[in-house]
């Protein structure tokens, strides 16, 4: 018998509901680190303890956060048009993008010791070294809205093209390949490097989970609720990929052969966005309603 245990850990947000956690990752210090996009904060939570909140420019819009190759956490400032770095002690450094109003959003530790990010407004992929040097690579499409980005098992950068309805691949020399999705107007957003050497992504408009091999073969799996608006996805330690359903307040999982399970989060209007595997091996989701949700499935 399967039993799902979901525990919410409230995060203080002095600007009201909807200003809670957005992006989330596990840091090198064994803590959960998260962004609060509408509150302009970076948070840190050790499971079982009270969260620590680091305040930034309240209008900067921190979105995606990842562990960098230098032992610090790196994050994008979508509205501040900067890439940020925060040490585990809370020291913040920010680097402006060369292109004005670029709208950096997705971020990943690359295969070359640098970090790579998407520029939603500029149709570019950026690369930033740990010392803050930025290079930008233009995409061959306009209005593509590049969103999430990850490093694939082939050593390339993979990213979703939300408005171009495609998945992109960029080699570290800047060469780009674009793979169009079978479903029209699917709206790909979240993306992760799967446990099976493929890339898994969510289609927020189509209500589907997609899988693309490094050779470009795409498979799509419809969700039980096509109006669920899946947002983020992460590879789990159990061989499943875990995702958030922003539209319905659920967390779900999908196996490598397409078996889907969904789990209701407690409460209404939770707005789950980011998702990660925590330092305790459980699944953690960021809820903009003002909490981190720990999801443990006992089989």
Residues labelled catalytic:
273
3-state helix/strand/coil string of the chain: CCEEEEEEEECCCCCCCCCCCCCEEECCCCCEEEEECCCCEEEEECCCCCCEEEECCCCCCEEEEEECCCCCEEEEECCCCEEEEECCCCCEEEEECCCCCCCEEEEEECCCCCEEEEECCCCEEEEECCCCCEEEEECCCCCCCEEEEEECCCCCEEEEECCCCEEEEECCCCCEEEEECCCCCCCEEEEEECCCCCEEEEECCCCEEEEECCCCCEEEEECCCCCCCEEEEEECCCCCEEEEECCCCEEEEECCCCCEEEEECCCCCCCEEEEEECCCCCEEEEECCCEEEEEEEEC
Contact predicate 243/209, CB 8 Å: yes
Phi–psi pair at 228, nearest 5 degrees: -70, -20
């Amino acid at each position: 018998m399967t039993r799902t245990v979901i525990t919410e850990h409230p995060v203080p947000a002095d600007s009201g509901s909807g200003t809670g956690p957005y992006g989330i990752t596990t840091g090198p210090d064994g803590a959960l680190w998260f962004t609060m996009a509408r509150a302009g904060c970076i948070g840190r939570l050790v499971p079982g303890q009270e969260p620590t909140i680091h305040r930034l420019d309240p209008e900067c819009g921190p979105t995606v956060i990842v562990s960098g190759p230098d032992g610090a956490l790196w994050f994008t400032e979508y509205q501040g048009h900067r890439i940020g770095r925060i040490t585990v002690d809370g020291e913040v450094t920010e680097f402006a993008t060369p292109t004005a109003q670029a709208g950096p959003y997705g971020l990943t530790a690359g295969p070359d010791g640098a970090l790579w990010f998407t520029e939603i407004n500029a149709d570019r992929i950026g690369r930033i070294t740990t010392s803050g040097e930025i290079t930008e690579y233009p995409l061959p499409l306009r209005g593509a809205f590049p969103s999430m980005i990850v490093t694939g098992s082939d050593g390339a950068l993979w990213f979703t093209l939300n408005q171009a309805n495609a998945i992109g691949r960029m080699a570290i020399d800047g060469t780009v390949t674009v793979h169009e999705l079978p479903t029209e107007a699917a709206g790909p957003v979240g993306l992760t490097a799967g446990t099976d050497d493929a890339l898994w992504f969510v289609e927020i408009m189509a209500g589907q989970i997609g899988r693309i091999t490094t050779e470009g073969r795409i498979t799509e799996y419809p969700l039980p609720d096509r109006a669920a608006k899946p947002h983020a996805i992460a590879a789990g330690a159990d061989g499943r990929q875990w995702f958030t359903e922003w539209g319905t307040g659920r967390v779900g999982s999908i196996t490598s052969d397409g078996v889907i399970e969904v789990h209701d989060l407690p409460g209404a209007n939770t707005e789950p966005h980011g998702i990660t595997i925590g330092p305790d091996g459980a699944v953690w989701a960021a809820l903009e309603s003002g909490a981190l949700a720990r999801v443990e499935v006992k089989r």
